[in-house]
Structures are given as C-alpha cells and as structure tokens.
Chains A and B, each alone.
Chain A
Amino acid sequence: MSAPGDEPRAEGEQQPRKRRRLSVIGLLGELLITAGMLVLCYIGWQVWLADIITGSQYASQARSLSQKWDAEEQKDPTPAPTSSATAGPSGPAGTTEDVPVGTAPTKTADVFAALIIPRFDTPADPHFYRPIAQGVSNTQVLQKKGIGHYPTTGMPGAVGNFAIASHRTFYGGALHNVPDLRLGDHIYVETQAGWYMYQFRNLQYMPPTEVQVLEAVPEQLGVTADDRVITMTTCNPLLSTKERMAAYGVFEKFYPRAGGAPQEIATTVQAKG
C-alpha cells in the first residue's frame, strides 16, 4: 500500500505514479501477498478459532438437550431407584439392577448422550459439554456432531465397554485436552436417565488399527467383562493422524435425573449459552 505522504518527492514525481499504475508485476505481487494473508488467516482460524466456535455451539446443543430431558422428566417422572447406585470396581451382582442402561439409537448420527469432563474446562470453553451421537462415520457423525459412539460397544453404565471417538482438533476437537486428564478425574456421561460418573484410569497410545481397545474388556479378546468402562479414542500427536490415543475410565456412580445433576457439574448443566 502506498501512503499519499510518499508522493511529493523531489525527483521523479511523475514516474513512480505511472509505473505503479501500469505494473503487471506489482499487481501480481499484491495479489500473491493477499493470497498469502488469506492462507495464514485460514490456518489461524482452523487451528485456534474454529474449535472454540464449534465447541460452544456443541455445548449449547448439549445443554438444550439436557433441558429437554429435564422437562420430560418433570412431565413424566420415571420410577427412579430410591438411592443413587454405586458399583465397586468388581461390580457385585447386587448393584447391577440399580444402574439403568438405555437402548442404543437405531439411527446413525442420533444424539443420545452428552459428555461432561470438568478437567477440560478452559477460559475459552468454561463449561465443557458435548453431545454424543450414534456411530463413528467420519462424514456423518464425527464431522457433524463432534463425538461418536462405536455402535458395536455397550451403552453408558452397561457392564462392558462404552467406547466413543472424536477428532483431537477440528470439528470441535472435543478430546483435544485428553493428555491433561489425571488419575481419578471425573468423566460424566449424561443420558435421559441421568449422569454416569466414570473415573479416569489411564491413557494408551496405539496404531490406528488397534480395534482391541473396543473389546468389552479393552485389549482382552474374548474375556467376559464384569467392569463398566469408558474408552475415548482420538488422534495423536496433535494435528496428526499417525497414531491413536485411548483414555480409559472406570464406572463409579450413577446419578438419576430426578435427583438433579451432581454438584460438580451443576453449573455446566445449567449455564446459559
């Protein structure tokens, strides 16, 4: 860009003006600089801004779904178990009935649950809240809904494995901060019935073909499960799809919807916007 202040120069006042108007090279140069700026803007948007924008859209979707479930609960209260059920790590038979297990949606991309992980709250996303849809098709589910549920795995709270997938960055990047999880961190899966609380156990790094992480007992082929676990798979390293990462959690407690959201996530569930 030329400032007008450049013009009253003693020698060759006429010539630079003329050259500027006629120069094809100059025009080409300006176009190339513009194109370069556009590419930089795109990269900046994709890496830093897009996930914040998409993430907040997903959060408000999850929140309005939760409010819809609340309204349905008030209209037609389910005969909830008298007290919130607990299951020890060994999952004794007596507690199995206390944890309701929903049926999986039959339609791909149907949203049937939501994910709340307080550890993932950031200044840009103060109340991490994401819908979970059925299926892991990249184009139908993961790019459109954010988090997908492996349809071959169990439902939240069921004995066995509840496995979900998400992009690490782009499309909301729900599992961007997976390496920040610490032992015992709470992972809540919300369904119409209530909130299933899992506790983070460990991370695993693996090749993209490691489908054994989806087994009822992850990495144990043909073993009958007696634990309830959650497996969250995403890409590793950041901005690459060379490896996969799995984060595991073990079921700890169920909070029925009738009793309201647990204290820890009450603000997330009720926050506006």
Chain B
Amino acid sequence: MYAALWRVLPGPWWVRVIILIVALAAVLAALVFWVFPAISPLFAPSDPGVST
C-alpha cells in the first residue's frame, strides 16, 4: 500500500518526501480537529459528580 503510494508520487525523492510530510500534516490536523473530537464521546468517562 505505502510502496504503491511511493511509486505513484511524481518527482525526485525529496519532492515525494515533502508531499508526504504535507499530506501527513493534513491528515493529523483533520484527525485532531474533526475526527477525534467527534468520536471522543464514545469513550467518555462517566459522570464525575457525586450522586447516590
């Protein structure tokens, strides 16, 4: 999968590395700002208050 990705990327190796770094940053930003907040209620801790 990643080998195929490397092959389809254009340009010399350093251009591919830059493209991959930018893509990785975009993926991480999307995860941190949209995906993770959206799924975090699924793993929510229970009520932290005191109750009987």
Contacts and interface: CB of A to CB of B under 8 A. Distances in A.
Query: Are A and B co-members of a single complex?
Result: yes
Interface stretch (A68-76, A120-128, A165-173, A259-267): A165-173
B14 interface: no
Interface residues of A, number: 42
A21 to B, nearest CB: 7
Interface in B13-51: 13, 28, 31-32, 36-37, 39-41, 43-51
Given A1-B3, A21-B4, A143-B44, A148 B52 contact: no
Interface stretch (A88-96, A208-216, A248-256): A208-216
- State the main secondary structure of chain B at its contact with A: helix
Given A2-B6, A41-B28, A241-B45, A170 B40 contact: yes
Interface residues of B, number: 24
B7 to A, nearest CB: 9
Nearest to B3: A2
B32 A165 contact: no
Given A38-B31, A41-B28, A142-B49, A1 B6 contact: yes
A165 B45 contact: no
B45 A170 contact: yes
